[in-house]
Structure 1
Amino acid sequence: MFTSQRITFEMSMLSHPFYKYSFFTLLIVDLIFTAGLVLSGVSSISLDTLLATSIWFVCFYWLPVWLAAYVIFALRIKGVTNTLIEWFIAVGCLSLGLLITDYLLQLAFGASSMGAFIFFGGLSWATPIYFISRYFESRAKISQEKQARKQAQLQTLRYQLNPHFMFNSLNTISAYIHSNPDLADEVLHELADILRYSLETGEAKSVSLQQEIDIIHKYLNIEKARFGDRLVVVFDIPKALLNTQVPPLILQPIVENAIKHNADQTHLSITVKVETSSLNGGQLLTISVSDNGCGFTDEVLTKGHGKGVGMRNLQQRVQQLPSGKVSLFNNANESLCGATVKVEMAL
């Protein structure tokens, strides 16, 4: 058991990206240093030069740096994160590596001993290697924290979706449970499917457009139980785009907003249109939801959302997407009236 845990621990340690990047970086440094010696005439291209380069790389650059990293990471796992201690470890490992390198060079080529330079060489190399590594490590950590905060924000926005339709659905079920129990049962099943979809896609970054359309149909079935023939929804979506990936529940708050703010319309018509266009060598997906209702107020057009949660969250979610943008405007054609919400995002 102990051996198995030890192997697992060491494998997890060695999977750290530092090892991969440091190996190639140190190899390049060693080769550049050797090339400089050759070009300056201090050394020549020969087997002795290749052997000396290999000794320097293995015994001074590679293994001491990896040993220092291994010890430092092991201490961090145990909760020891002191910068001074880590720096001492780095200096000690590289000084030890330089000592071994010095011994092997003497053995292979009869070179003179480096003497006191062994410590100063380890110090002068360990210091920049350690602090440069710490710099890139902190940059990576900041990037990871930003990404984590972004994901947490998106999750929060997802779970704050306007529950207005839930209350309306429950009211519809309550209203029809005695007079039309079949309709009440149908609405209840549609509501359950929507809630299940919301839970199942809670961790998903994207779903197919087809899934979004299917869940919108279920939502509309609930609303049509309330509105009857007064509500007509038309979908203008090419079949080729149905497999396009979009954020989950990106359409529901827009359609809900159109219905909620135009509930008094004698005849409410909503059109959902999806199309693509070129964008800097790529493609831009545009989703438009238009209605023939009363249109947006000047305040809503200025802010990009009203007082509700749904559209405000939609704005924040879409802004996190590449080329993400939400536009609100009233239809220019007065004969049509109403308003349009346009969502754009890169494919």
Structure 2
Amino acid sequence: MLRQPFFKYSFFALLIVDLTFTAGLIISGMSDISLSTLLATTIWFISFYWLPVWAAAYIIFNIRARGIENAFIEWIITVIMLSLGLLITEKLLQLSFNDSFSLGNFLLLGGLTWGTPIYFIARFIESRGKISQEKQARKQAQLQTLRYQLNPHFMFNSLNTISAYIHSNPDLADEVLHELADILRYSLDTGEDNSVSLQQEIAIIDKYLNIEKARFGDRLIVNFDIPAELLNIQVPPLILQPIVENAIKHNAQQIELAITIKVEKVINRKDEILRISISDNGSGFSEAVLTKGYGKGIGMKNLQLRMQQLPQGKVILTNGTTPNRKGATVLVEMAL
């Protein structure tokens, strides 16, 4: 129960309130800097702020654990605990200081005055935290859904590739099936992971390219431009494969298809950005695809949606800008 984040954060918050109140008394001349002031401050913190608030929270969390959550009941518990804390504080101050005064009827009013804002501020912070957790949970659920959509899509396309030569070259087909099994195993193993190292992603791209090279042979050329120091950077799983697959799928008729995968780290407004570009020498994107950001397939559409969930994540599609520079480029960016 005491592992609840409330107990850790409330301790420091209440300590700051207590010290601030004491500092205000000293500045206003109502108290001085002395051991007596330190003792009084300690008594107020322990017996009025800290222990009553923790006791109220402990009772409230136990009640909630039994399925009862009622704001009015919780508020009453908080006010009662603060009133009891005020009573104990009064007695301790009277034992410690001869000139300490009695709080009298202010005990209940004091508990009400302090307990009400403490409870409702804590309730507000708790509700904001729940909203944040729900948003994060929805985001993770959406990412998982996109991943699960990608798996059967990728398998279907890969099996089509294998079927092209499974009868004419069984040994090669067996090798390719092993590569496909490794990719699918990777997909399953990273199903619950938010990120993997770039090195793992490149290793899977190599396996996917081995499948495609069995079909295209020397017609498919892939170049990597990746600094060694960036290989340990974390990226979302299976983020490169749909881009490479898209480049191969839409340029399968090329006499020679060259793909370049480049990774770099750049500074954008003092933020570190990981930039991945995958370029080809194919026919480029149509105007409709450039405008929309993806075509009719599911791979690039899912990539766009996945990147939208990441800090500063985005996907930019461009074509060659000069007659001598044909092909398409997919630029992926995300915050490090």
C-alpha distance in structure 2 between counterparts of 1:241 and 1:337, whole Å:
28
For 2:95, the equivalent position in structure 1 comes to: 107
Q: CA 1:169/1:108 → structure 2, altered by over 3 Å: closer, same or farther?
A: closer
Q: Give the Å deviation of 1:164.
A: 4.5
Task: Give me the CA root mean square deviation.
Answer: 1.8
Match of residue 4 from structure 1: none
Instruction: Report the alpha carbon displacement of residue 162 of structure 1 after superposing the two structures with TM.
Output: 6.2
Structure 1 distance, partners of 2:215, 2:153, is 14
**Superposed displacement of residue 72, structure 1:** 0.4
Aligned to 2:216: 227
Give deviations 1:40-82, integer Å, cap 9, x for gaps.
Answer: 3333333332222222221111111110011001111111110
Once the two structures are overlaid, the 10-residue window that deviates more, 128-137 or 217-226, is 217-226
SS at match of 2:150: coil
Matches within 5 A, 1:160-239: 160-161=149-150, 163-239=152-228
The alignment covers a number of residue pairs equal to 335
Q: Which runs of 5+ in 1 are unaligned?
A: 1-12
One-letter amino acid of the structure 1 residue matched with residue 304 of structure 2? Q
Q: Answer yes or no: is the 8 Å Cα contact 2:313–2:333 preserved in 1.
A: yes
Query: CA-to-partner distance for each residue in 1:125-173, whole Å, 9 max, x for gaps?
Result: 1000000110111111111111111111111112221644423432344
CA contact (8 A) 2:151 2:187 kept: no
Residue identity opposite 1:44 in structure 2: D
SS class of match (2:224): strand
- Is it true that 1:317 corresponds to 2:301 in the alignment? no
Residue 254 of structure 2 corresponds to: 265
Q: Give the SS at the match of 1:176.
A: coil
**Mapped partners of 2:164, 2:283: distance in 1:** 28
CA-to-partner distance for each residue in 1:71-123, whole Å, 9 max, x for gaps? 00111111111000000000111111111122222333343422111111111
- Choose 297-306 or 146-155, whichever is displaced more: 146-155
Letter in 2 for 1:46: S
Distance (Å, rounded) in 1 between the aligned partners of 2:14 and 2:180: 60
Of 311, 315, 329, the residue aligned with 1:340 is 329
Aligned residue type for 2:319? N
Amino acid at match of 1:344: E
Q: Is the 8 A contact 1:176 1:184 kept in 2?
A: yes
* 2:278 equivalent in structure 1: 289
Separation in structure 2 between the aligned mates of residue 258 and residue 204 of structure 1, nearest angstrom: 26
Q: Unaligned 5+ residue runs, structure 2? A: none
> 1:112 & 1:208 partners in 2: Cα distance?
65
2:95 aligned with 1:95, yes or no? no
**Match of residue 153 from structure 1:** 142
Identity of aligned residues (%): 73
- Residue 8 of structure 1 is matched in structure 2 by none
Q: Which residue in 2 is equivalent to 1:6?
A: none
Correspondence 1:135 to 2:124: yes
Q: How does 1:36-75 map to 2 (within 5 A)?
A: 36-75=24-63
TM-score, normalised to structure 2's length? 0.94
Report SS of the residue matched to 2:237. coil
TM-score by length of 1: 0.91
How many angstroms does 1:175 deviate by? 4.3
Cα distance change, pair 165–75 in 1 and its aligned pair in 2 (3 A):
closer
When residues 231 and 68 of structure 1 are mapped into structure 2, their CA distance, relative to the original with a 3 A threshold, is same
> Are 2:110 and 1:121 equivalent residues in the alignment?
yes
1:304 is aligned to 2:304: no
Deviations 1:235-290 (A, max 9, x none): 22233322222211111000000111112223222221222322223432221111
Instruction: Determine the C-alpha separation between the residues in 2 that align with 1:125 and 1:147.
Output: 33
User: Which residue identity does 1:16 align to in structure 2?
Assistant: Q
Match of 1:79 in 2: 67
User: What is the alpha-carbon distance in structure 1 between the residues aligned to residue 104 and residue 255 of structure 2?
Assistant: 95
Partner of 1:255: 244
